[in-house]
A and B are shown apart, each in its own frame.
Chain A
Amino acid sequence: MYGVVHFTTGSLNMPIDKSDPNPNQSKASKFRWGELEEDDNLDFLLPPKEVIGTDENGIKKVIEYKFNDEGNKVKITTTTRVRKLAKARLNRRAVERRNWEKFGDAVHEDVGSRLTMVSTEEIILERPRAPGMKAEEIKVPGDSLAQLSKGGAVLMVCRTCGKKGDHWTSKCPYKDLAAPVETFVDKPVASEASVAASGSGKGAYVPPSMRAGAERTAGSDMRRRNDENSVRVTNLSEDTREPDLLELFRPFGAVTRVYVAMDQKTGTSRGFGFVNFVNREDAQRAINKLNGYGYDNLILRVEWATPRAN
């Protein structure tokens, strides 16, 4: 049993039943695999090489037939694109040299030789970037990649503090920051904690680098700083939800996180929430402007989340 690639002409073992008499076929009939010697040159059994010349796209096809290592007949189609390179102005002698005969190892060169190839990649002269820009560019894809690699973890929200990312609820290191929440309402926290515990129990394996309290670099530092820019909003109406807070506080600057404490039983707001700004100044302005602001029939109270003196 032999496999043939691009089987074209008749197989070796079939009896001669061809319509066109071919002198080579008589040899084929007497052919026995057992008599095959390593050095036998069976090229006479192969059809001749075809060259389909360069067409208008510059494509040239050369079809050769060979025996591969297992003795199977294979058809090799080499498709080359003949590209016109930049015109080199050659002087007379150079033109003569173009017609020199090949010598040395190049004597047996054929079209299929892979010595000279045009690169498949386009290579450009890369201009060096100013160091500042380069670092940024590299960081951005790195960050998004890092986010992506965390995959599901990024989408996980710690229920205790509502923070995205790298820790699980039961061991939330930000419990201290969420303390006001706990002091206000005990029961929901307890129920949340129990729910959360079971949730994290089912959860995926968290590598040590991503567990609670693990040393993190800039990412978590940035988050902690955000928590320093945390603003507590109280006297919210029942219908207030996170998107409302976001809409209300966004004009003052970039907001990283909003949280509204919810009563699980009734599904309404418990009347308070937290907004984390990226910049401290934005948080200060929000406090100044929105404290005492009338929102949905109630007067808002807006202050720093934990008393922070500058």
Chain B
Amino acid sequence: MRPILMKGHERPLTFLKYNRDGDLLFSCAKDHTPTVWFADNGERLGTYRGHNGAVWTCDVSRDSMRLITGSADQTVKLWNVQKGTQLYTFNFGSPARSVEFAIGDKLAVITTDPFMELTSAIHVKRIAGDSTEQTEESVLVIKGPQGRINRAVWGPLNRTIISAGEDAVIRIWDFETGKLLKESDKESGHKKTITSLTKAADGSHFLSGSLDKSAKLWDTRTLTLIKTYSTERPVNAVAMSPLLDHVVLGGGQDASAVTTTDHRAGKFEAKFYDKILQEEIGGVKGHFGPINALAFNPDGKSCSSGGEDGYVRLHHFDPDYFNIKI
């Protein structure tokens, strides 16, 4: 296949997200402007100007009208997707690391980093249908985990929040009460910082990727470990195909190891694994730096990866991708 290369960002990519219909791709990077692209040909539609720091995360509402982005400038902003205008700004005391709309787009979960005296926290904000009525107030604030919380996502039916971060423990919190319901097991869980989480299309299981060079598949309701996928590189990003039973892991070397290993250009790859057999299917090379973000189009026929090199690579799969057998 011929990937489409999009170089709209000057700095490393941090996050990629497709909208529900699969025709728009939102990319966030350490330069301060999230960008939206057309997902079929990679043409840039626009950029959202306004942040003053690296944009770590974003999410788009189901009707693709609203975009929420979290940034290192300690704000989370709501944008009009079509016009690129800012609708609202939430202010926090520390950089925002992860945002996600709830099902129904009436709530959003936001995680903030530990900063000075503040510990890391998970905030839930109500999102008003009409942005003029938007208020700053939090519905719920959860404090507790040590270290940075890299990702927090909603559980099924918005009843729970799943969080994972630097302490390598996955936690499930009850949304109504804010109480901790479950924690992942220390022995079978990750050993190092969890960098990314992604949910299955139906929400019954989710995948976590960690710097301990593995990714693990968990059941959402019981938090039991289902599968483990191991690689040779620390995993920065994970994605699950909504169509086939494939799992994609992207990562890179630790920065310290870079100069000591051979440095052929374009050799950082996204690895495809069979979800059930845990075996590697193959790899797609091409990035010039570690892969920081991966996303699958909801129709499962294309995927995109964003790297430390500032490039977004959009792959439309060949027909034989769908016929791969182990």
Contact = CB atoms under 8 A, between A and B. Distances in A.
Interface residues of chain A: helix, strand, loop or mixed (majority): loop
A239 B4 CA distance: 69
A114 B24 CA distance: 19
A107 B33 CA distance: 14
Given A124-B1, A125-B321, 11 more contacts: A98-B23, A103-B46, A104-B33, A105-B46, A116-B42, A116-B44, A121-B2, A122-B2, A125-B324, A126-B284, A128-B280
Interface residues of A, number: 31
A41 interface: no
A88 B40 contact: yes
B38 interface: yes
B92 interface: no
A46 B281 CA distance: 55
Nearest to B280: A128
A103 B48 CA distance: 8
Given A103-B83, A104-B48, A106-B47, A119 B3 contact: yes
B64 A125 contact: no
Given A103-B47, A104-B84, A106-B44, A123 B286 contact: yes
A101 to B, nearest CB: 8
A140 interface: no
Contact of A103 (B2, B38, B39, B84): B84
B82 interface: yes
Interface of B: 1-8, 21-24, 33, 35, 37-49, 63-64, 82-84, 269, 272, 280-286, 299, 301, 313, 315-316, 321, 324
4 tightest Cβ-Cβ pairs between the two chains A and B: A104-B47, A103-B84, A103-B46, A94-B23
A80 B318 CA distance: 23
Given A116-B6, A119-B4, A126 B23 contact: no
Contacts of B35: 104-105
A86 B35 CA distance: 23
A309 interface: no
Interface of A: 85-86, 88, 90-91, 93-94, 97-98, 100, 102-107, 109, 114-119, 121-128
A7 to B, nearest CB: 32
Contacts of A115: 6-8, 44
Contacts of B8: 105, 115
B127 to A, nearest CB: 20
Given A103-B84, A128-B282, A116 B43 contact: yes
A125 B41 contact: no
B199 to A, nearest CB: 23
Contacts of B299: 88
